[in-house]
Chains A and B, each alone.
Chain A
């Protein structure tokens, strides 16, 4: 903001309002505008364009190719009366809430631990991060094996003597989402951890020393000083985890394929199945529009709070 003031001071009582307006819009910060031009072009053309495209074609009866006739809200009527979709939405809300809380919580905890000047940091870091690198088709299969009642943990531990050990979350409709969570956390926590670690690394050592000199207990330092300073990183992490949750597809297909029954179905899978497998683009787009609408409902108030108010820097 000081930047603005400096520039305006330079302009002083310059010529008319029009020339100032033109200058402000086009010349000032020209480099910045040129640099940001790719982003602007992308935003306008791709994201807004795609969204409009999505909404438009969800109002048609497009099948394999997007060129159907306008049918109004028929696709949505069908969508809301489809039990598989309704179950998908509920599943995603439940999974999403837990995933967000646990990924951020565990990620932060691990980052804090890693930041404690420990040895073997590279080793620990690579171990926690490697699941992120592996394709989920096969790692999902491995988790499927591990959680399979007869082949996996339950079967093995029972064979070792503990007859009453049960771990059949994978085949239990009420617990299958938690089975997903186990595999999902395994894959995603590592990255959130290094993200938070990068944030922690950006905090000056001086601050720690000052806090210690002031006699503030460590946990309090974290809560009242460090966390607020890491606000940016947390927002990034929330968006990262959040977008991963909304896009959740590979994990479900690899681990449960929506089962048992439809108890682990998720919206992105519905979209994918109907858009490509079933050759019903319009239905898939209607489902996507619902997902996007939900996201918009969350983002717009956040943006308002973040930018609309005082326009502060952080």
Chain B
């Protein structure tokens, strides 16, 4: 049935258009189920099943009671779902003598994560920018050493960093942990930014230089706006890594600033006694919610062609 036929068979109430017939506009609408789309969605859905499978086990386990877990099948859905484990994980699970669940450490984790993320990403972005657009003698050597640094296992760096922060007088405070996270994040983040900036069109930068703009001005007015996707990636990386970090938080931040991961670790990692699997699962998901929310929200910034737009405009 062609479009014209449809329109000409319209009922008597249809107002006659000024043209005797209206031509369809735009590209021909494609049917939804093209082979291409089927393939794409199938693969994506299949991948999602793989990713979601353990989450299913975790969720169902967290909604069961311990006897059911002990004697039942791990894949079976809960007979009578109960949110007890969740409440317990947040408010009353025991982590040593204190039985307040995860929530004492929540704000400490925030206190550690927010500044560390901001500082580490800022430094790395500036480094990447400097390395690409303002190359100076020796900068490449330094960059290579930085990459090498990203492979050093963190256990090896622990004692030297303890001694360094001790000499700086900041050991046992938030500053120490921010410093340590920035140092650790620097290699990968600098690489991230450097490679991204290197792929941006040179013309923009040159045009700005010709206009007389300096280092910082170009950075804030041109480079930053063009690199939203990579900032999102960097934020995801850092927030996840720092939020879930245990060792540095507990060693460097000082007792009053113990992050939530300490409580999480104490809940799930107890050597003796029967583990309360449902509480462990609930606690893990609760801890992971913050990075998850960031992932979801940051999606809006993950858009295409900002760089392209800038070149054209």
Are chains A and B touching in the complex at the 8 Å CB cutoff? yes
Stretch from A12-20, A76-84, A199-207, A256-264 forming part of the interface with B: A199-207
* Cβ contacts under 8 Å, B132 to chain A: 313
- In the A-B complex, list the 8 residue pairs whose CB atoms are closest, starting with the nearest: A232-B195, A31-B215, A32-B134, A47-B149, A133-B291, A198-B229, A138-B284, A204-B308
Proximity bits, B117-133, A CB within 8 Å = 1, else 0:
00000010011011111
Query: Contact between A288 and B54 (Cβ–Cβ < 8 Å)?
Result: no
Query: Contact between B305 and A204 (Cβ–Cβ < 8 Å)?
Result: yes
A-B residue pairs in contact (CB < 8 Å), sample of 19: A3-B209, A29-B134, A39-B190, A42-B182, A43-B145, A131-B51, A132-B236, A133-B244, A134-B288, A138-B283, A202-B199, A202-B200, A202-B229, A204-B308, A206-B308, A236-B192, A292-B151, A299-B148, A307-B144
Stretch from B15-23, B42-50, B91-99, B106-114 forming part of the interface with A: B42-50
Report the nearest B residue to A238, measured CB to CB: B191
A292 to chain B minimum Cβ distance, whole angstroms, is: 7
Query: Contact between A243 and B48 (Cβ–Cβ < 8 Å)?
Result: no
A24 to B214: give the CA distance in the assembly, Å: 17
B296 interfacial by beta-carbon distance below 8 Å? yes
Query: Contact between A186 and B302 (Cβ–Cβ < 8 Å)?
Result: no
A290 to chain B minimum Cβ distance, whole angstroms, is: 12
Proximity bits, A133-170, B CB within 8 Å = 1, else 0:
11101110111011000011000100000000000000
The count of residues in chain A whose C-beta lies closer than 8 Å to any C-beta of chain B is 107
B295 interfacial by beta-carbon distance below 8 Å? yes
* Cβ contacts under 8 Å, B156 to chain A: 50, 54, 271, 275, 284-285, 288
A114 to B47: give the CA distance in the assembly, Å: 12
Cβ-neighbour of B153 out of A3, A33, A43, A271 (below 8 A): A271
A116 to B194: give the CA distance in the assembly, Å: 26
A48 to B157: give the CA distance in the assembly, Å: 11
B66 interfacial by beta-carbon distance below 8 Å? no
Query: Which DSSP category, helix, strand, loop or mixed, fits chain A's interface?
Result: helix
CB within 8 Å for A201 and B229 given contacts A47-B152, A232-B196 = yes
CB within 8 Å for A195 and B134 given contacts A156-B75, A233-B195 = no
Query: Contact between B188 and A240 (Cβ–Cβ < 8 Å)?
Result: yes
Cβ-neighbour of A25 out of B137, B188, B198, B232 (below 8 A): B137
Query: Contact between B123 and A39 (Cβ–Cβ < 8 Å)?
Result: yes
Task: Enumerate A60-102 residues with CB–CB distance to B below 8 Å.
Answer: 66
Cβ-neighbour of A201 out of B126, B288, B296, B302 (below 8 A): B302
A222 interfacial by beta-carbon distance below 8 Å? no
* Cβ contacts under 8 Å, A215 to chain B: none
A295 interfacial by beta-carbon distance below 8 Å? yes
A220 to chain B minimum Cβ distance, whole angstroms, is: 16
Report the nearest A residue to B50, measured CB to CB: A186
B278 to chain A minimum Cβ distance, whole angstroms, is: 11
Proximity bits, B294-313, A CB within 8 Å = 1, else 0:
01100100111101100100
Query: Contact between B206 and A195 (Cβ–Cβ < 8 Å)?
Result: no
